[in-house]
Structure 1
Amino acid sequence: MSAITPGAASAGRLTPRAARLAAELEEWDRRTIALAELWPLFARADPASATRTTRRADLAATIAALVDAGMVTVSRSLDRTAMPPLPTRLTLPAPAATASAAALARAVPWRPELAWALTARLTVGQVGVLQTVNTWLRDHGRASDVLPLHERSLDLFGYEKRLDSLIGTSLFGPDRLTLKLLRTFRAHPPLPVRRVGDGPILLVIENSDTFDSLRRALSTTPTAVGHIAWGAGEAFEASVLSVGELPDVHDVAYFGDLDAKGLHIPTAAAASANVEGLPQVRPARGLYQLMLENGNPQPGQAPVDPERAAELATWLGEPSAVAAGELLTGGARVPQETVNARLLATTVDVWISDLW
């Protein structure tokens, strides 16, 4: 990763757009970047520019700001295919030993909530991010609006997924940026659910066709399943947090494909549910037993390391875990569509075993 270091001219504040492009350039893995490579970075730094007729002029002004700050140098050769001319290549400075972002941070009159920026080890791009937050706090700090994460991200940075990439960085943490400070929260994706009875069990199905077959089977078979949900594949890793909004659900049973992804999904969802104090996500054992007894393993999968296979299969419990682990290490899988409507109709005594 290349370090972008301001020179003596950088003792002023970057514009928000220039700061965002500086942040993108900090992630660049070479010291030079061609104009064709720069355009996608600029699109991420300033998404709104894509629809503006001044897009090229905006990039020219942003490059000029970075040059004035000593963060890049530009080639003598110019792209003159449109106006204004643009350099065909930018060069980033070599990594510097000094904490060069400190001068940029000292030039900012920080709000009390961000005073820690003066002593933190930050990159130039991070200083730019904090400048944007600083201006927002100045102008909107007394407001009371609370927006979901992607709405706040668009509100702050002009890009709905910017906060997603920042939350895992050193900018966030105790006494730093928090979701509360930004008046935002992670909205739980909705979990598509149908009510099929009055029982306490929520049965979650990975794929849509099996969801439909089981929904119809449950409509004619008395069980303790009160709700059936479509997990929508990997979406359930996040939508599991919506389980708490369902009334009278005390038991969550999951049924999915027998492959690495199909076992990772409920394992990850179970961990999230545990953190939030939600009902444990456990396997629908009768349905998995039915799949193992009737499925034809499909080869052609990437073999899973035995240790990882055992880790994934453990969630199933014995005796299914052993058979599932052998499938994974052997590079095979069994799709949950094996348990089709015809099989469900003739094996009720098997799959109902732990749903009653």
Structure 2
Amino acid sequence: MTTSEPLRLTPAERRFLAALRERASHGKRTGARWRKLAVRVVRELHHEHAGRAGDHELPPRLLLRTLKRLQAAEEISFVAGSDQEKVELPQHIRVFVPPVTPLDRPAMPPLHARMSRVAAEWNQKGRKPHQLAAYIAVNDWLLRGPDPTPLPMCERSLEVFGHPAHLGHFPEPEKALRDLNFGWLFRDRGQLRDFLHLVRAEPPLLNEWYPAKPQERGYTAMRRGDILLVVENYTTCWSLTKALTSVDHRLGYLAWGIGKSFASSVRSIRPDHGIGAIRYFGDLDVSGLTIPVRAGDQARAAGLPPIVPVTELYDALFRLGTPLPGKEAVSPAKAEELAAWLPERHRARAVGLLVRGERLAQEWVNLRYLESATGWHTDVR
């Protein structure tokens, strides 16, 4: 007689389960117990942890499939009753919240001199394990003797929290600093900027135009040539804008694609924009490759130039990036289909990433690299 192996949750499912537990235990006592959550809250958490920028509401069938897998893993249970929608979801679920034990609190490591104030907070009542883990990550970063060149928050966050030792608490390390707000270091945002040498990088206004002069910043119109370069995430778009002020380039436009939105917004390109080539740079994961593939289909239908990858920037991403857990894995056949958009020299590595369910965040190609390296300049000429 054989016993079946326990159901193995995907990294995305584990993150969603952690979010359910966090919300279910908020403000409650720490003993192990089953706690109830309304379907409205479950929907919000699922969209937050399974969606991406530019997504509209995720289809209920995806949520139902995930909930059934968590139920099969005996991590949640359904409460009787449904929401009476076309795809019926339970009105409530119960989430098993394990007890918080002393072992969950990590030991205080030897502290860098700049982190000495952490000692007074370590055993503070109410301090949570993931908050202590944030201090450990910053401490580890300081002990590595980092380059203090100022970087945007997402790029610095990836440097600090993108080490494998910290991914259990920070599965999307490029977003960690944005979400932390506690204690002497993370609550005061001005102090945090000074401490971690951050520069402010704000998303551009979509209708904003700046001439491409060295003393001015440019998001949308560079006015030097006929190339449109689209970048998936706004931090990398900002860093490219700053780096391009000293580069002899042929860009007519540099655009923030707003995640999946580019697959639709590409059709807004008009003949009077004078665009002769469209180039794209995004994350290396399932979504990051699906975006340009779908946008390319739309571009062909509209009679626009093909959407091609920026070869040197993807070279840099493979060279500089550390693979992180992704939101989904795909079959080898699907991975090869998506990777076919990339230059041939990148395809095998991309297929390996996608099949393993890993990703490379484009923020690894940060401002420091863009201002010091020159190889990527061929992508904008």
Superposition TM-score, scaled by structure 1 size? 0.46
Q: Which one has a bigger Cα radius of gyration?
A: 1
Superposition TM-score, scaled by structure 2 size? 0.43
